[in-house]
Structure 1
Amino acid sequence: MPRQNSKNGHVTEYLIEVSLDNQNWEAVRTGTFKEASDGSGLENKGYNPIRFNTTKAQYVKFTALKTLGDTRDKYASIAELRFYGQIAPIAAENITLENTELNISGNTTQKLIPVLDPIDSTDVIVWTSADNNIATVDESGNVTAVEVGTTTSTATIPNGKKVVATVTVILNKEELDLEVSESEKIINEEGSEAKYSRNSWNTFKEAYDAALALGEGSTQNEVNKAKANLEVAREALVLRTNKEGLQIKLEEANKLILETSKYSKASLKALKSAIEEANSVLANEAATEEDFSVSNKELVQAVETLFDISEINIALKNANDVVENQYTEASYNEFLNAKYALEELLLKDDVEAEVLENAKLNLQNKINQLIKVADKSNLTKKIDEAEALIEKEYTVESFKALKAALNSAKEILSDKVATQQQVDEALSILEDSIKHLVKADEEKPVEPGKVDKSNLEEIINKAKGLNKEKYTKETWDKLQEVLSKANEVLNNKDANEEDVNSAISNLDDAINKLKKVEDNTNTDKGKENTQNDNLTSTGGSSPMALGLFATLMSIAGVVTIKRKNK
């Protein structure tokens, strides 16, 4: 077809050549086109057909030999040039594939690339799949993954030769994961469940949970179905109306109102009132969405302010397990009053939560403050043992010390509020007094000029066994000063009875005046240390114990002096 808007370049004579290799050309036709008599260009300005004998060709060349224009044969111009012919069939001798192993994700498509020999063969390839349930293949070799598994795709040419590719389909959860991600935005939105209608939300939540439950062992069909279900459920979410919101909250409240043992009477009373109001609004056919909204807010507040008394019930259960005779009367009475007070408050329907909470804390404190009744069984046995001793069988001085210890032990035994520490101290002193009893027929005179230093040595050893870190520097330094002097007396062969007794007394006094580092309340000098620390051989720190120790020491002094004067 010549150019339409001008005669310039119209071809009036041409040459057509063909080639199989683009190197060697053969002329197959020369010809002319008739020029119009008015000089406007070619006579036929439409398509001008050119025909030539059938020949084999892969390349065709059109050459303009003569052209029209202001200057003839200067250039050629053609609007459109078409070639028609029949393609000659070229048979394929063999076929291969660029890749015989194909790993493909579900729901995706990949192409198998065939290679024919010769490469320009016009043969048609037939594609087949061994299992269309796993993967399909179309006439162009496009493989589409259907289900997880392995199959084969086969390409066959007319001469019967074929090539096989192994196709492995891998589970593809990408689309499902994207849908789950979109759904999670709704799930994680604060108050989202209350935002949508119950039915649409339940359907959506079930689809979401089902999608999350799918693991790597799932089938592609299950994954596709879960994705589709979740997408449909998400898009079908419907906003909840105020009326439906009230109905749902009312269902919850009606269950809570039955839990009378879990919540306080006052909070249940408020909930009951809100329930009655909600029922009234729902029964009113003229009620508006605003009415439903107001009633719902009141019901929500009543539910949220329910006071859980579970911990109170536990505290009362623990209180009921307390056994009266195991504790002192005073501490038990305080505990009992706290228990009765809490039980009484629970029966009222106008008590605020804070009052109940404080009453519970008070009961727990009173339980923690219960004072155990001291175990006096060992002390009783030791008193019985001491009372069975016959006075005349022992020296007057040693039995006198026993009597003092026995009387003190009896006082502790009869004291209803005596602590376990006091009982143990009395027992220790009584045991020591029995241990130091001297048989009347065993008393021997002390050798003339020899002083008994055994008591001094004993108290020195006790002082050395104390822990420096427990006491204040001032009182500890004083003890060390007195201890040093006591050691001098112990090592002095010329020390007399008076020196020994004085050293014992001074060391005992220094021990008793020791102050613990944390004990800042005992500021009076000379007062006994009230902490539970066995400072002396008497094993006690109570006034009774220290007094008795002094008595024992004085008796020991009398005995020694008497022995010396015999």
Structure 2
Amino acid sequence: MDIDTSDDSFDLSLEGMQASAGSQNSNSGAEGSANNVLDGLPKTIWHTKYGGTSITDNWINIHLDNKQVVNGLRYLPRQDGGSNGTFLEYEIYVSDDNGQTYSKINSGSWKSNFKWQIAKFDAREVTDVKLQPIKTTTSSTKEYGSAAEIRLFYMNDNQVNKDKLEELIKQCDIIDKNDYLNRNWDKFEKALTSTKNSCLNPNITQGEVNDLFNRLSSVFNSLEKKPTIDNPIIKPLDAKAGSSYGSNQNPINVINGVGLSGNGTLQDKHDNEKSAKTMWHTSANPGNRAWFEVDLGDVYELDEMWIWNINQINNVERGFKNVKIEYSLDEEKWLELTPEENMEFLSEGTEDYPFQFSIASGDSLISATNLNDRDHSPVKFNGIEAQYIKITAAPIAGEGSWGQNYFGLSELRFTRYFKADKSELQELYNESLVLNEANYTSESWVTFANAMTDAKAVLDRADASQEEVNNVKTILQNAKNALVEVVIKTNKTALEIAIEMAESANLENIVPAVVEEFNAALENAQTVYTNANATQEEVDNAFTRLANVMHMLEFFKGNKELLQKQVDQINGLEADKYIESTWNAMLPVLANVNAMQEEVDEVYSELVRAFVNLRLKPNKDILADLINKANGLNRENYSEASLKGLDAKVEKAKTVLNNPKASQEEVEAAAAELTKVLAGLEAKPVETVKPVDTTVSVKTGDDGLLGIFTSLSVLSIAGLSLFKKRRLNREQDLMNTENSN
């Protein structure tokens, strides 16, 4: 069965495996230990002793922690660029008794390259597999052995493992066409459809599965993502030049990333390959053919062009110097780009070639060299639309180049123009505005304040790039995270003691108002005590409040038993039988739940006095009847002088009648006075006897007066009797009350 030598889907787990060797150099950097072949790191290797050993001692053994079925081995030669010790011919031995005895199971040869090699043999249940070199790539005088990684596997001839292929298909299914350039998309879709159909074949072999995986992986990896705001780098389609030194110095080297190390960003670094095989340069003295053109593959709004000038070691003077830059939508009509206003270059330039590129250093790895100004700025396009960019150097060596008669470049990268997204920076800035300087140390605040100033400047700039926005956001976030809060030193000893005492206090029989304030003060004190940021003023206030309420814990509720008994007696009385003012004066304060004993005793005394001072309402019927009779007299029958005296007494009687607080004595006195004045009324004298008169006696027309006087005496006696009876009843009530107390 065919197998992809790099396919690890049939490998045994590395867990529990151990490696040992007949010879191993003591660790020297990434070389030495036999266990390096099991670490999953191709850059670390097992290597025999540097002094050389007999080839028979250059074996390596893989030990399993328990017996497992094995029918193959994979061997990865060293990947560090060296070749000493690479196995070319081999023998394989196995053991099922933990290495006590071995038997040969296979032998063969491998190609001399850096790829995974494979050896298959009959399936055996084993504890150890030993790889013995017969021939290695070694010097003529010394024998070595080496390996980067070794794996054991078990593969059933009828078993087909599609896991990796199916995982790749899932990955391909979920990608969005809108995220990728069109240039390879059709080829990718056809390969994906073909792979899915072939995968349904029930008779597919492992070799066919491996081939499908490799082809689909290749097409998938050829897809190129469109520039995004987070990664605005454009992937150019092609490049050409007016002159090239040779096939190794191809213009395509300037746009394909060869020679760059990094993560595909503008911070990548370029090598200094001595033959410029990772760069491009012209033939000697190219003259007007010293130009370089890039096809971006589509029309873009351009932002910047980053430049890595030629970095060929000992030949950096071949780099472009004074150049002109043109752009086009269709490669027919060209427009020239002009440097930004106030840009100054560090060396003398030429009017026709207004841009000046920096010279490279020739160091092993260099960052983008860009323009030869103080900041090594990239070329700014500021949103200009173009698909083609052409750079033409001045034709004379020393003007178009930095001195040599060859002209060249290492790498160019272009970025798409995006309006920067400042939303996250704005949100962070707004959040940071509410922070209070007083809460942080001055040193950390200064850094934070500077970051805030820089962030505000970027937010206010309409032309700020996304990179600038992202950078200043990171700086501000870091400065915010690095703020150091001021440690407030407070003395909580007194508060701690007060809380401890309060938590053990007995609140039984304490008046409710004090209990309520006590609980609130204690809760506040506990909160302040546990607050690491509480100020000394807050601590002191919490202590004072708790201490003050603890001073009130002697405020016991009064015993109201006697008071309640007196109130119960009063509750049996009828309020409307007593003068309102005396009744109101007697109302208790029993409802005051917070009354203490002293207050209860005082209320009891006042209540008894008020009870004793109760006064029955007097009977005012006779007085009211007298007033009515007086008002009903025929005033023409009486002298003016006597009527005047009557009117005065009637008004006085009315005052007593309308006074709810009037006593029985006052009512009787008013009635007696009114009776007396009625009896003393003087009739007007009559000179002639009217025809209707039957007697010469005074006729007043008020026949009821005699009845009044008669009934008045009777009512007075009855009223006096009733008054005396009520007084006796009241005195008896008082005696009963005193006896019960």
Q: Structure 2 length normalisation: TM-score?
A: 0.19
Which one has a larger percent helix, Structure 1 or Structure 2? 1
Which one has a larger percent strand, Structure 1 or Structure 2? 2
Q: Structure 1 length normalisation: TM-score?
A: 0.24
